[in-house]
Structure formats: structure tokens, C-alpha cells
Amino acid sequence: MSHYDDKVMGLVARPDYQPMTLKALARRFQIGPDEYAAFRAAVRDLVRRGRLDVNKDKTLVKASEKGAIIGTFRRSAKGFGFVRPKGTANGRLADIFIPPDAGLDASTGDEVAVQITKRPHTPGYNLQGRVVRVLERASGLFVGTYFERGGAGYVKVDGTTFHEPIYVGDPGAKGAKRGDKVAFEMVRYPSPDQEGEGVITEILGPRGKPGVDTLAVIRAFNLPDKFDDEVLQEAREQAKKFDEKDIGDRLDLRDVLTVTIDPATARDFDDAITLARDERGYWHLGVHIADVGHFVRAGSALDRSARKRGNSVYLPDRVLPMLPEILSNSLASLQQGHTRYTVSALLEFNPEGIRTDRRFARSVIKVDHRFTYEEAYEAMMNPDRPIEGLSPALRTLLNQMLELAMILRRRRFERGALELNMPEVEIELGDKGEVIGAHLAKDDESHQVIEEFMLAANEAVAEYLTEKKVLFLRRGHADPEPAKLREFADFARSLGYPIERPQSRFELQRILRETADKPERYAIHYGLLRSLKQATYTPEREGHYALASVDYCHFTSPIRRYPDLQVHRQLKTLLTGHKPKADPDELAALGEHCSRAERRAEAAERELIKIKLLTHLEGRLGEVFPAVIIGVEDFGFFAQLVELPVEGLVHVTSLADDYYYLEPETYTLVGRRSGRRYRLGDRLDVRVARVDVDRRELDLVLPDHDVEVGPPPR
């Protein structure tokens, strides 16, 4: 992919874009004579790939403007597929059904153009269409298990992207052995008319060997796991230059009591906190963020590498950092007892938690004490209990942090912020990477303290940059579509929770609060989540709906998020008395890239967690677990185990006591004779019937249904 692609597509996708010719586009991007040939080739390639169309007057437009629906394709194991149109929420009813012979050679994750061929006459059913063009491949690299058949080598691709194995040449290609996990490059995509063909690029190791599952996910998601020599050398040079005695004109805060609160396993410490209260009762909060930009200069090899990665990726047993560890875990990390360069947000609040002043500074700090969340929580919840090593000053600081954070938290909810209780899965691993337990992440007061202070700093920075009319990368969360909120209100009403004004965030707050400790909690929170749009990085001032914030950005994690680094650069330029510059099209393209990188990282983490949990469940076939229904379709319902948070399918064919049909408006499967109902959010017991790790499938049955239990066929 050319580096011009994001620029061009970012421009033509803008609502105010006026179609331009190739030469006009070149002038728009200030393409010089020595760059024009490469630019022209890149634009022609976009046309060839179907991402751009050429009008009769030779102006260029985005392909979607010619009537086709653009979306993301996913193929099922049975050959048919679905396309989720761009810009739609997470509801499956928005998907377009693609019959087995209408998908061309599209594979899961590809961006495709679709024409509608059939519209449903009955509510609750999908549109039907055909893929007319594959616009962009999600990846040409795939991972699977190698085997041999008929004197040839094949790979059974992980997941359900491809139903049939892919031919990879003669037996033993690249030294592959039966049962090895391999990565391969697809050279011919399978279709109804032809067999797929690929070339093995890497032997990852025997299936089931510790670490191979992690490496397989890294390759499948095309995650960078190594740094180029040039990047490492530049990081080492920055390390040699760093002198903690040279603080220059930075604000010296080393004598101010400073703490960090982080997970026990953390090594990259982005943020530190100071807090004091004056004689008026006013709070003086300091949020001090690692000055990554001091070490990572714009346009340098370090910067290009970080920009390409977009973020650090936190897998269950491995971290893929955005920056080399000499920076992320050392020089830039706010380690206890070390002088570190920071960018500080110094915020003043009155006793009611209203911000009355703010200023920002290039600073230098020295962390006095590093707390884990568990340590901070114990001290905050037991203010009178003696704790070894905890000085009176530190105890006072923690108590004050808790007091201010709860004031800020209350004010945030008073203005209409929403908080969905959808905790992430955290798994516990043994020495060989095997699962020994799993739980949902905690959201106790120690976490809330840091959350509130980070939110306050992010908002203050965004407001300041907005007032100064600076273009920067915002964290946007657009308002939900009214129709989606009405659908959610209908669903909540079916569960016994009426909502009169679904567009009122205070009504939504009320429902979330009322169901917080009820059996319907998961259904309500998950249902609302499906009604909301995804948060993205964008230069547009669209606000942040969930936070009820007009101006918001990410400023507090530049070690692990590139958008934060971009915000730091704009802020630091202002602090030196200069007006920061930014190209709106380049910034929009950067926002799209970072949003994609974020979604990729989240998907990879979810995938590996699922693999490890399914591997664990292979040894627990037939066991019964409590579960909650998290999705309902006409073919069955998806249930998530409570003890080991992984989801599986209870297929409708296993419900042999009745004929069940889908009631889409209430997300319920209903027994035609008995009236028995299985509804989103219901709690029930399920039995593990079948596990297929390679296909990422878990089949569940109800304990009182007589269904054969066993491993998948090999």
C-alpha cells in the first residue's frame, strides 16, 4: 500500500469534498514534479482496486458514490457470508446476507462493494446481496495447521474464514511437518470456481507447543513484534544523550510528593499524580505524563515506527510495545526514584469539584512511591489501619486523591456521563502459558481515582487546544442514531424497564443504575452498548457522547498510544510560544489509521484470550457452568460462561423439547408449543459439548438435553 492511500481516501471521503482531477489532487497535496509519477501510480492503483471511480469529466470520487454499499465481509464455514455496511452499529440485522455463490473470492475482513439483490418482506430478516468487487484485502497473510493429502501440502486455516484447506505446494515445503502451525501468503484466493493457493512464509512451531498460539495470533493479525535496527539504534542514541541532571527550563517538581498507581505487572508508567489542598479548600491536582516527544522526534525512525504501529498491544502473555523497551520501560517510564521528563497538567478545582484554573508545563518529576492498584485500594478503604511502609504523608495523599476523585466522578454523572459495566476478561496463566484461571477485571475505587484524574487532564488539554484554535487528534464518540436508541428503549421495555425519552442521557443513566445489581444488568448494558457508535480518533469536533464531553482527547498515555504523542507535540509547541501546524487531511488519515490499529489490537487480544480459554476447556468436556445469554439469533443463542468468560453457541437443534423461533424485537427465542423463552441477559446453566480451538468454536448444550459430548473431528 502506498503512503499516499490514506491521504487521498481521507480527502475524497470528506462530506465537503468536490470531485477533482488527478492533477488537481496533486496540487491539493502539493506534490512536486519529482513525486508526481509515484503519486499518479498510487491513485491509478486505487482506481484499479476499486476504491476510487473516475467520472466522465475525469474527476475522481470514492467508489461508494456510484450506488454500491461498502462494508466489511465475513464468511461462514458453510460458504455463505455477511457484509456489515460501514457506519452501522453492532446489530446483526444491519448485515447483508451473501449467498455462497455471490461472494466472489472475498474473505473475512475484506472491504467489499455490494449490490442488493433481495429485500426481506418480513421484519427481522436480512437484506440479501452479492459482492461486486473486493476493494481491499484485510490481509494476504494467514495462519493455520499444516497437513498432507494426496502427495501435496495443505493448510487448514484457523477460524472459519475458509471452508476448504489451502494448497501450499509439495510435501514438506519450507520444512513443514504435519501438525505444525504455519504462516502463509495467499497467492490465489479460493472461490466457488477455484482452489485457493498459498506459499508458506514461516514455520511457527508444533500445534499446542507453549507460545505457538501467541505467535500465531501475532502473525494472523499482522502485528509487528520486532523493531528495525535503525529504530533500535536511534533509541540507544537517545538513551546516551539523556542526562537527568540537565533539566533546562523545565518546571522542577522533584520535591513535590508524587505517586503512581498501576497494575502489579506494569512496566511502562505513563502517568504520575500530585495533589494538595489549600486553606480555602481548593484542590491543586497535578497530572504528570511521560514526555515521550522529547525522545521521539517527529519524522524520525522512532516516530515512523511508532506511527505505523499506532499503539502497544497487550496480549495475555506478551506485550508488543509501540516503542523500544529502552524507552517504554526505562527512560520515558515514570519509575520510582528516578528523575523523569514530563508534560504536566496543573488543574485547580474548588471544593465542589468545578475546575477554576488550569495551566500546562514541560516539567521534571521524581516519583516517591509506586502503588499497585491492590495496595492503593487497601490503603484507601482502610484509612485507620496501619500499613507497613506507608508514611502519614502518603496516607494523607491517597485519602485526598480518593475524596477529590469521587467529587469529580459525581459531577461527571450529574452532567450526563454514561458508564457501561462491561468489564474486560483477565486470564491467569501458568509457567507454560496455560490457563489456570480467569476473572473479570475490577473497577474499584483505586481504578476510579486514576480514571477520573486522567479524564480531567484529557478534557482540560482538549479544551485548551480548542480555545487556541489548534488542530489536533480528538477522541470522538458521535451521538447515537435516534432509531437505535428507540430500538434499545423497546428492548428495555420488554424486560420491564420503560424508557419514556430514549434520547435523554439521564433516562439512560437511570436504567443503568436501576439494573446495576439485577439479573437483567448484562442484557441492559450490552443492549445499550450495541446502540452506541464506536469511539474513534478524529480532528472533527464531534464531542464524546458517553463522557458527555464537548472537547476530549487522549493525552495521558503517549508511551503506548500514538494519538497521545500527536497531542503532546501540539501542546508543547504552544508552550514554546508558537502556533502548531497540522494538515487537516493528514490528521484525518492519521485518525483513521490509529482507529484501525486500536481495533486490530483489541481483536487480537480477544482472539488470543479465546484460544487460551478454549484450549483450557478441551480438558473439561461435559462439565456444567453457569452462563449468561449475550446474543440471540434464529439458529440459537450465544452464552458466555461466568467462571471462564468465553462465549459458545447453544444451537437451536439441540433444543429438542420444542420448535423455537426468533422474536427479534425482544431478542428472544420462543418455544412454539411450550412458550418457553430464552432471552438476551438470561442466566442459565450450560454443559460443554464440543470444543474446536482451531475454528474458535465452542458448542454448548443445556444440562437436561441429551446431546453427545466429545472433541471435534480431526
Give residue-wise pLDDT tens across range 590-631.
Answer: 999 999 999 999 999 999 999 999 999 999 999 999 998 988
Last residue of a domain, one of 64, 97, 112: 64
| Grid cell of 201 as nine digits | 512464509
- CATH, residue 57: 1.10.10
For residue 484, is it within any domain? Answer: no
For 197, the domain range is 141-207
pLDDT tens per residue across span 377-406: 999 999 888 888 899 999 999 999 999 999
Examine the domain organization and report whether 55 and 109 are in the same domain. Answer: no
Examine the domain organization and report whether 641 and 666 are in the same domain. Answer: yes
Beta-carbon count within 10 A of 713 CB: 6
| Grid cell of 484 as nine digits | 437505535
For residue 710, is it within any domain? Answer: no
| Grid cell of 306 as nine digits | 511508532
Q: Per-residue confidence at 66, pLDDT binned at 50, 70, 90?
A: low
Examine the domain organization and report whether 273 and 383 are in the same domain. Answer: yes
For residue 559, is it within any domain? Answer: yes
pLDDT > 90? residue 17:
no
Examine the domain organization and report whether 167 and 291 are in the same domain. Answer: no
For residue 527, is it within any domain? Answer: no
Last residue of a domain, one of 102, 136, 170: 136
Examine the domain organization and report whether 164 and 269 are in the same domain. Answer: no
- CATH, residue 97: 2.40.50.140
Burial of residue 619 (CB within 10 Å: 0-12, 13-18, 19+) is exposed
Beta-carbon count within 10 A of 410 CB: 12
Examine the domain organization and report whether 191 and 160 are in the same domain. Answer: yes
Angle 697-441-434 (CA atoms, 0-180°, nearest 5)? 50
Q: How far apart are CA 497 and CA 495, in angstroms?
A: 6
Q: Look up residue 620 and give its DSSP letter.
A: G
Examine the domain organization and report whether 331 and 186 are in the same domain. Answer: no
Q: Per-residue confidence at 1, pLDDT binned at 50, 70, 90?
A: low
- How does strand 435-440 pair with strand 425-429? antiparallel
| Grid cell of 408 as nine digits | 469529580
Q: How far apart are CA 591 and CA 474, in angstroms?
A: 8
Q: Look up residue 293 and give its DSSP letter.
A: G
For residue 181, is it within any domain? Answer: yes
| Three-state secondary-structure class, residue 406 | helix
| Grid cell of 219 as nine digits | 502473525
Q: Residue 402: left if φ>0, alpha if ψ -120 to 50, beta else—which one?
A: alpha
| Three-state secondary-structure class, residue 619 | helix
Q: How far apart are CA 49 and CA 137, in angstroms?
A: 10
Examine the domain organization and report whether 177 and 234 are in the same domain. Answer: no
For residue 173, is it within any domain? Answer: yes
Mean pLDDT of 93-116: 84
pLDDT > 50? residue 65:
no
Backbone angles phi, psi at 343, to 5 degrees: -115, 125
Beta-carbon count within 10 A of 53 CB: 18
Collect all residues with Cβ–Cβ distance below 8 Å to 400 and sequence separation of at least 6: 275, 276, 277, 283
pLDDT > 70? residue 88:
no
Q: Look up residue 711 and give its DSSP letter.
A: P
For residue 516, is it within any domain? Answer: no
For residue 341, is it within any domain? Answer: yes
Examine the domain organization and report whether 252 and 295 are in the same domain. Answer: yes
Examine the domain organization and report whether 190 and 298 are in the same domain. Answer: no
pLDDT > 90? residue 91:
no
Q: What is the 3-state secondary structure (H, E, C) of 28-77?
A: HCCCCHHHHHHHHHHHHHHHHCCCEEECCCCCEEEHHHHCCEEEEEEECC
Examine the domain organization and report whether 253 and 328 are in the same domain. Answer: yes
What is the DSSP track for 533-562?
PPPEEESS---BTTTTBSS----S-TTTBH
- Give the count of domains, the chain: 5
Burial state string for 685-704 with b = 16 or more CB within 10 A and e = fewer than 16? ebbbbbbbbbbebbbbbbee
pLDDT tens per residue across span 525-549: 888 988 899 999 999 999 999 999 9
Examine the domain organization and report whether 201 and 240 are in the same domain. Answer: no
Q: Per-residue confidence at 480, pLDDT binned at 50, 70, 90?
A: very high
Whether the Cβ atoms of residue 544 and residue 477 lie closer than 8 Å to each other: yes
pLDDT tens per residue across span 216-235: 999 999 999 999 999 999 99
Q: Which of 91-105, 430-444, 676-690 has the least mean pLDDT?
A: 91-105
